[in-house]
């Protein structure tokens, strides 16, 4: 149901997106690097974007796998933990609309990366408490950060390349590498819990992932293109 609602809300943007794509294609075709063969494996920028994709996806997969369990460990009932996690999913929706617009209007998105990382860190730090109000605020902040981070990663695939060919290559590379690395996250966090016997280690791991998003996202957000990084 919510997917259908989101699709209906997004439909007015489709025609605008098509027109923009046509204009961009015309502008890009006149650039000397537009027909240059893109070698993403040799591009440091492509690798940094792939790492951002990896760690934001790792955070998402780990959240899905363990956040409800962590909330129950903090004293919440299974149903309350489930409702709170659903709340974080709702919190993602507005950010998926807002952040691509912000990113496209800025030549340099480094400040957006800093904001996202700090949202993650603040949200997860609130999970060290057992107070319901702090857990609710934390889960909302994490949801906002997740929506912002995912949409920014998707935006990188288009704005960090000069041509549609470059965008396709960057997207395929970034998502392939990113999801492959991200799959390790839930298993690693589960292993940490089994090894340490508590969930604080898992929260620290999630904070570390957020720091890695900042470390790789900051250079990825600079105003440069993979075609220039060959």
178, 53 contact by CB (below 8 A): yes
In-domain check, residue 28: no
User: Does any domain span residue 50?
Assistant: yes
25 falls within a domain: no
> CA 180 → CA 55, 93, 99, 183, 192, distances in Å?
11, 25, 25, 6, 20
Within a domain: residue 207?
Answer: yes
137 located within any domain: yes
What is the extent of the structural domain holding 185? 40-228
Q: Residue 102 belongs to a domain with what CATH number?
A: 1.20.1250.20
Task: Output the tens digit of pLDDT for each of the chain's 230 residues.
Answer: 444 444 444 455 544 444 444 445 445 445 555 556 778 888 999 999 999 999 999 999 999 999 999 999 999 999 999 999 999 999 999 999 999 999 988 889 999 999 999 999 999 999 999 999 999 999 999 999 999 999 999 999 999 998 899 999 999 999 999 999 999 999 999 999 999 999 999 999 999 999 999 999 999 999 999 988 76
Q: Name which of 99, 97, 95, 109 is nearest 140 in CA terms.
A: 95
CA-based nearest residue to 48, from 168, 173, 169? 173
What is the count of structural domains for the chain? 1
Asked if residue 16 belongs to a domain, the reply is no
């Amino acid at each position: 149901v919510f997917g259908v609602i989101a699709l209906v809300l997004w439909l007015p943007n489709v025609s605008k997106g098509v027109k923009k794509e046509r204009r961009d294609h015309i502008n890009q075709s006149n650039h000397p690097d537009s027909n240059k063969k893109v070698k993403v494996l040799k591009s440091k920028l492509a690798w940094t974007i792939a790492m951002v994709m990896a760690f934001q996806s790792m955070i998402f997969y780990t959240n899905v796998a363990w956040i409800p369990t962590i909330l129950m460990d903090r004293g919440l009932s299974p149903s309350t933990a489930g409702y709170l996690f659903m709340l974080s999913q709702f919190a993602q929706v507005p950010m998926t609309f807002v952040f691509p617009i912000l990113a496209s209007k800025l030549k340099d998105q480094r400040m957006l990366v800093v904001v996202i990382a700090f949202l993650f860190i603040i949200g997860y730090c609130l999970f060290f408490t057992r107070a319901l109000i702090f857990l609710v605020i934390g889960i909302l902040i994490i949801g906002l950060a997740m929506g912002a981070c995912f949409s920014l990663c998707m935006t990188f695939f288009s704005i960090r390349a000069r041509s549609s060919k470059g965008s396709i290559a960057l997207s395929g590379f970034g998502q392939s590498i990113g999801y492959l690395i991200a799959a390790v996250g839930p298993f690693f966090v589960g292993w940490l819990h089994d090894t340490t016997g508590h969930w604080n280690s898992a929260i620290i791991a999630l904070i570390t992932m957020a720091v890695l998003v900042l470390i790789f996202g900051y250079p990825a957000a600079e105003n440069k293109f993979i075609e220039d990084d060959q």
